[in-house]
Amino acid sequence: MPVHAGLLRLRSRADGEILDITAGVAAVVGQAQAPVAVATAFVVGSTAALTTMEFEPGGVRDLQEALERLLPRDGDYAHNRLNHDTNSHAHMRAALVGPSVSVPVVDGRLTLGTWQQVVLLDFDDRPRERSVHVHVAS
Amino acid sequence: MPVHAGLLRLRSRADGEILDITAGVAAVVGQAQAPVAVATAFVVGSTAALTTMEFEPGGVRDLQEALERLLPRDGDYAHNRLNHDTNSHAHMRAALVGPSVSVPVVDGRLTLGTWQQVVLLDFDDRPRERSVHVHVAS
Amino acid sequence: MPVHAGLLRLRSRADGEILDITAGVAAVVGQAQAPVAVATAFVVGSTAALTTMEFEPGGVRDLQEALERLLPRDGDYAHNRLNHDTNSHAHMRAALVGPSVSVPVVDGRLTLGTWQQVVLLDFDDRPRERSVHVHVAS
């Protein structure tokens, strides 16, 4: 099959939690058994996002604090007012970072750097179950 | 054909307008008739961007206001000075959000969440005709 | 081969330098000889990012200054404290902009706009050699 499809299910505490999902993405790539391919990961939902980063406690905290400074949880937000909701900050952060990331595969492996992981950022303000689709095109 | 190509043409009022283009992207995916695929949407031009979000009036306004706060229209910008132009803020916002988004297809359908739409953000300061390429690889 | 793989090697001065890599990406697309395809570019490492922009001196400077304002080099960063490092700002900027960009190919050519280039943003604070994988799926 030219596109191999995998699905990761994760549980997050949300509130800006950042999860390293590299092993899950790599497992789907392994199943695809394609030497040369493109792996695309996509998170379902509008309050979470995907990117890559060095997944270590300091960088995780810095990114969380920077996003809180740039797009604070508390504010006079129309989304919250109109929908009696509390997570407008999560929607804005997710739209800015984006839901998808694509990583080329060479020799059957993701071409990530040594200190570069695929991460899910869950910006919602309550624990969530998250679905990440991983499609490997070859 | 392993990659099915579609092209959406849109007219925007710009000025930060956000357009829901999900139906157009889904139509191209439908034409591809591929059960498992990856749909990649890409906006031509350097003053517009694509992402996903819950497309509702409150969230749209919040995102527009946040981007105006973070990357204001008015400023002492070199792009405007050197090119006798007025849209440096649009270029910066577009570069930050990015021109492309990739959405996996399962059972012939986009794997978007219920409250997750593919949107075009047009940051330019005059009405524009926009082209969005949608390629479905399967 | 359904996925044609290319690799660009670049030397950057870093410190926020922005490099136009369009010619390199286009060269890989040319080698692929695929009329309809999707080109995905990905930068290895967690202190650089890819996007598209109008590559001209004014816009480059504006974007560099905006990122310095939003995510300043100097700050009380946990990544720097815990790892005796100096580039937390580079990690945050790279995570926000993202490592990958996908550009559809039509008639064997990238569908970029006339004033839209694929760029590498190197946020690290020392000169680096960078690898950008370019995979063309057709």
Joined together, the tokens standing for residue A114 give 């040594």
User: Which residues in chain C come in under a pLDDT of 50?
Assistant: none
List all residues 6 or more positions away from B69 whose beta carbon is below 8 Å from its beta carbon: none
pLDDT in tens, A3-31: 999 999 999 999 999 999 999 999 999 99
pLDDT at B125: 96
Per-domain boundaries in chain C: 9-42+54-137
Check whether A1 has a pLDDT greater than 80. Answer: no
Q: What is the reported pTM?
A: 0.98
pLDDT at C1: 52
Distance from CA of C98 to the nearest CA of B (A): 9
Q: Which is nearest to C49 in space by CA: C115, C108, C124, C103? A: C124
- Percentage with pLDDT > 70 across chain A: 99
pLDDT tens per residue across all 138 residues of chain B: 589 999 999 999 989 999 999 999 999 999 999 999 999 999 999 999 999 999 999 999 999 999 999 999 999 999 999 999 999 999 999 999 999 999 999 999 999 999 999 999 999 999 999 999 999 999
Nearest CB partner across the interface for B104, out of A78, A79, A133 = A133
Question: Is B31 in CB contact (< 8 Å) with chain C?
Answer: no
Neighbours of B52 (CB within 10 A): 27
How many contacts does B have with C, using Cβ atoms within 8 A?
Answer: 104
Top CATH class, C9-42+54-137: mainly beta
Q: State the distance between the two ends of chain B, measured CA to CA, in whole angstroms.
A: 8
Contact B54 A46 (CB under 8 A): yes
Question: What does each C-alpha distance from B132 to B39, B54, C30, C113 come to in angstroms?
Answer: 12, 20, 22, 11
Tokens 């136009």 belong to C20
Nearest CB partner across the interface for A101, out of C100, C135, C137 = C100
Contact C99 A101 (CB under 8 A): yes
Domain B3-137 architecture:
Sandwich (2.60)
Question: Is B9 in CB contact (< 8 Å) with chain C?
Answer: no
Question: What does each C-alpha distance from C31 to A94, C63, C80, C88 come to in angstroms?
Answer: 36, 32, 42, 38
The Cα B78–Cα C102 span in angstroms is: 28
ipTM confidence score: 0.97
pLDDT in tens, A100-116: 999 999 999 999 999 99
Contact B79 C97 (CB under 8 A): no
